Amino acid sequence: MITDVGAGHHSPAVAGVLTRVGDAIEGVFGTLREVRDASARCVRRRGRRPVAADLAGLRPSLWAHLNGNGVAALIAGIGFIAAPGLLADAHWYLEWWQENPSGAPVQLLRDLDPSSSAFYDYTHWDWYTGPLSGAGHTICGPYVDYLCTDEYSLTLSVPVVLDGAFVGVAAADVFVRRFEGAVLPALRELSAPAFLVNASGRVVASNTARWVAGSLYRGAEGFAVRPVRDLPLSLVTAKV
């Protein structure tokens, strides 16, 4: 996490940015907590291991979070990613659905055969390793999502735990352009350069060309860093 060096008094403008950004991100994480809880219910089976078909029960709620308004307008893809070996009939599995502007949501299908040259090992991605390591909230990106949408994206994720054991990840993709649309109006109300960074210092949105989305911030003289609630996101502003 970027070190907080300016978490004291907030001006009304800065407080407004923190509120707006926090509301946008927390809205997505709130949705993921719903997916988390529903996923845990789907894989809880007495007397047998869960199978892939059990996760079909998630689909109506996942579809409802796509092609919608409010928080749903930010989310481009959403689902549950099973820990390897969780399911009896599929060692690797994603119950992942993406928006489809021309119709009903579509399921993402990847090559999950470890013997294939195109095998998609999702366990090395930050959005998976963060929850696996115990992080309650993970924000991965911005990155170009070549595997799914070819869009500049963020992936937000939370762990799914059942009876104390990690069983997978609930995650959502948010296009950077949509996130910027939600937070840039507030950032632009600040009179000084300002931008948002994730826990690793990657810029997520910015009101200045000096710090564009995707660039890395490792600290700079004359800037203050303020946490956005208890989320893995910080607001960096030039001191004026």
134 with 157: CB under 8 angstroms? no
62 with 97: CB under 8 angstroms? yes
* 223 in a structural domain: no
Looking at the DSSP bridge assignments, the partners of residue 98 are 77, 106
For residue 171, give the CATH number of its domain. 3.30.450.20
3-state SS, residue 69: coil
Q: What is the largest CA-CA distance in the chain?
A: 63
**Res 46: pLDDT:** 82
Domain range enclosing 44: 22-178
Looking at the DSSP bridge assignments, the partners of residue 79 are 96, 171
* 125 in a structural domain: yes
**Res 9: pLDDT:** 57
**Res 216: pLDDT:** 94
* 63 in a structural domain: yes
Respond yes or no on whether the N-terminal peptide bond of residue 193 is cis (omega within 30° of 0). no
For the chain, what is the domain count? 1
For residue 23, CA distances in Å to 6, 9, 169 come to 21, 20, 22
One digit per residue, pLDDT tens: the chain, 240 residues? 455 555 455 788 899 999 999 999 999 999 999 999 999 999 998 889 999 999 999 999 999 999 777 777 899 999 999 999 999 999 999 999 999 878 889 999 999 999 999 999 999 999 999 999 999 999 999 998 877 777 889 999 999 999 999 999 999 999 999 999 999 999 999 999 999 999 999 999 999 999 999 999 999 899 999 999 999 999 999 986
197 with 204: CB under 8 angstroms? yes
* 153 in a structural domain: yes
pTM of the model: 0.92
* 189 in a structural domain: no
* 191 in a structural domain: no
* 186 in a structural domain: no
* 237 in a structural domain: no
DSSP state of 91: S
**Res 230: pLDDT:** 94
**Res 7: pLDDT:** 47
